[in-house]
Amino acid sequence: MKDYNKLIEQNAEVVRKKLESNSSFYDELAKGQQPNFLWIGCSDSRVPANEVTGTEAGDIFVHRNIANLVNNTDLNLMSVIAYAVGVLKVDHVIVCGHYGCGGVQAAMSNADVGIINKWIRDIKNTYARNWDELKELDDKARFNRMVELNVEEQVNNLAKSTILQKEWKERSVEIHGWVYDLGSGRIKDLGVDVSGTDHLPDVFKLDV
């Protein structure tokens, strides 16, 4: 059997098992979604949002890109955030990076990775800005720390967005920064939760 046909066959098996434990599972799902979480993660195949968090279809609104970046001019991501926060009214936005992230690793090197150079350049800025701390670490610790700093940066990028700042005028939304450890399967909460703009330099606080 071709690899991709196997996926369709497995889908039939998934449906069979789901209906066995809950005969109305798909009827309920088809009615609509009310997820309470927006997940912004890396596209890496080893960090699927639902699987690592033990959640079901309908629980998490998901956006993934290389190195879980929150880029101000990314129309795709900004639309996802606008819908999740402004329409679905999720209470929590989670940025989840992962140790061993190839995107972060490439950004820490001088490698020319074609069009991806443009995507990961912001990570180089984070790297350069934190060099005083990073230079004290060995290679492995530096890589791990950069993954964490990259997540922190994206949490702050979210706080700088008009979408979040407008929503904060109306209600509470929390942003969280996590890192998934491929080696253990565990999620580490970096404790960089943000629910407003107090921590930002004044110039980022918009008159929304």
User: Where does this chain bind Co ion (CB under 5 A)?
Assistant: 42, 44, 101, 103
Closest by CA position to 36, among listed 89, 110, 72, 78: 89
Q: Which ranges constitute the DSSP H helices of 22-86?
A: 25-31, 49-53, 75-81
Select 6 or 46, whichever has its Cβ closest to Co ion.
46
Confirm whether 181 is a catalytic residue: no
Active site residue 42: yes
Nearest distance, CB of residue 102 and Co ion, angstroms: 6
What is the nearest approach in angstroms of Co ion to the Cβ of residue 95?
12
The CA-atom distances, in angstroms, between 32 and each of 37, 88, 111, 118 are 15, 10, 44, 37
Q: Does residue 98 carry a catalytic annotation?
A: yes
- Nearer to Co ion among residue 83 and residue 143 (C-beta): 143
Q: Which of 63, 96, 98, 122 is catalytic?
A: 98
> Minimum distance from CB of 43 to Co ion (Å)?
7
Q: How far is the CB of 124 from Co ion (least distance, A)?
A: 16
Q: What is the amino acid identity at position 153? A: E
| Marked catalytic residue, from 42, 63, 122, 176 | 42
Nearer to Co ion, 58 or 102 (CB): 102
Please pick, among 63, 96, 101, 176, the residue that the annotation labels catalytic: 101
- The active-site residue out of 46, 121, 129, 186 is 46
Q: What angle in degrees, to the nearest 10, is found between the helix axes of 162-170 and 139-159?
A: 60
Q: Which of 17/46 has CB closer to Co ion? A: 46
φ/ψ bin of 87: left (φ > 0), alpha (ψ from -120 to 50), beta (otherwise): alpha
Cβ pair 170, 81 in contact under 8 A: no
7 burial (CB, 10 Å; 0-12 / 13-18 / 19+) is exposed
Residue 46 falls in the annotated catalytic set: yes
Please identify every residue annotated as catalytic: 42, 44, 46, 98, 101
